[in-house]
A and B are shown apart, each in its own frame.
Chain A
């Protein structure tokens, strides 16, 4: 099974940088995903890491260390629209996703 931990809440100021950490313990690892979910909406795909290192996509970057069971999502130049929950999900050996409980990010003006 999977055990995925991420902080419950984070608050940051518009224009700032926020880093959301995710640690996991897994019986089989086949990639890590980050999703964004605005209140009352569906999760939307942000990023995917399967190899160690940093993946950058505009203002969002995601990092993975498989040996440490650790990932982070970095949000730069925060905007008010970035206020949402961010879900860390680990794909296991059977290609099924297990999700963390999510981190609610609040961006303040």
Chain B
């Protein structure tokens, strides 16, 4: 059982380049999330999807886009990377959002450096 996988594990990217971070879960969870984690700031929600075909903006969505074509995959795209997007990115998934025990489970993370 893989749970949630993310790719790549780490990446160094030149500013201005486009980058897609991949996230796949095999738990048949309806809801998926993207967070960034920066020192001293904790995890901040970028985008989320309550179910396949729908997406929503989190706390820090600017510069990022997502899509949810199917239940398993939830890619995050940086259209034109900037140094302030240097961070560790975590994907998470949970059961149906809005239920009482939809605990979020996290992938291993992608460490992104934008130069």
| Chain A residues close to B by CB (< 8 Å) | 4, 31, 33, 41-45, 48, 50, 87, 89, 95-102
Tell me whether B75 is interfacial, beta carbon within 8 Å: no
Where the two chains meet, the residues of B that have a C-beta atom closer than 8 Å to any C-beta of A are 33, 35, 40-45, 48, 58-59, 90, 97-98, 100-109
Once the chains are docked, how many angstroms separate the CA of A99 from the CA of B101?
17
Q: A41-B108, A101-B41 are in contact. Are A96 and B48 (CB under 8 A)?
A: yes
Binding site secondary structure of chain B:
loop
A95 lies within 8 A of B98 (CB)? yes
Q: How far is the CB of A57 from chain B (nearest CB, A)?
A: 13
Among B43, B102, B103, B107, the residue within 8 A (CB) of A99 is: B43
Interchain CB contact under 8 A, A101 and B101: no
The distance in angstroms between the C-alpha atoms of A53 and B99, with both chains bound, is 21
* A48 touching B43, Cβ below 8 Å: no
Distance between Cα atoms of A48 and B102 in the complex (Å): 10
Which residues of chain A are within 8 angstroms of B104 by Cβ–Cβ distance? 33, 45, 97
